[in-house]
Amino acid sequence: MSTEFDQYSNAYHRSIAHPVRSLLESVGENEFLRAKARWIDHWWTVTGRPSAARVLDYGCGTGLLTGYLHDLRPDWSYSGADPSAGMIDAARVTAPYADFSVLGVELAPFAGRLFDLVLMSGVCHHVPWKDWERTFARVRSALALRGTLLIFEHNPFNPLTQIVVRSTPIDRDAQMRTASFVTSALQRFGFQVEARRYLHFFPPRLRALERLERGLAWLPLGSQYLVEARLSEEPVPQDVAR
């Protein structure tokens, strides 16, 4: 996957371009990611989290989400990891204040339960099922004991999402998973799911509707969903922990 994504590192906006997205976003702006950053900022505040946080953007791509979140929370400490060296090179330009590393074949570059918040935005649908166990073992090793994992993914129940994903070059090998599938996988791989929400019911440029969006989070028709999880207090099954 790393070599595949290197080819998109210098032209990320073009690689995700689609006529439907063009109707929903401003030119040259990834407003879906910016809206996610605002959601994270709001969620962090309303849940009474401490002001400081150590954040890992796992599968960070070109660092856009890290950059948008930094605009809102410049006092946080940011790190990012991605299997594509080309993406990491681009991320270091996008967010020079963050610590970015290339994911190796065997070991995660970040380990020791360090991060208060681990983000996986649009990552899981690019990971073959055979690699999920290893991926979430890495995430477990990087997450603080009381930290939170937030997974943002495409919602396969949304027809517009299906159209966009199936006709976007960077997603040509994507395997969309339902929120229920991701929830079950997380429980299998040593996490406790705290919440599941749906988002992006409206074009993200319409910020006046964000409050209404949050009220619709229960409705499984948003173009994306998120799953909130933390480390499980139960022991990880041996066939998963290896």
Q: What is the CATH number of the domain that holds 134?
A: 3.40.50.150
Number of domains in the chain: 1
Q: What is the pLDDT of residue 51?
A: 80
Judge whether 210 and 38 are in contact, CB under 8 Å: yes
pTM: 0.84
Which letter does DSSP use for residue 85 in this model? H
Percent of the chain with pLDDT over 70: 82
**Which one, of 27, 159, 30, lies nearest residue 167 by Cα?**
159
The pLDDT confidence band at residue 94, using thresholds 50, 70 and 90, is: very high
For residue 159, how many other CB atoms are within 10 A of its CB? Answer: 10
Cα separations in angstroms, 117 against 114, 150, 195: 9, 8, 15
Judge whether 141 and 111 are in contact, CB under 8 Å: yes
Distance from chain centroid for Cα 101: 16
How many angstroms separate the CA atoms of 27 and 17, rounded? Answer: 10
What is the extent of the structural domain holding 145?
2-241
Average pLDDT value for residue range 72-76: 96
Q: What is the pLDDT of residue 124?
A: 95
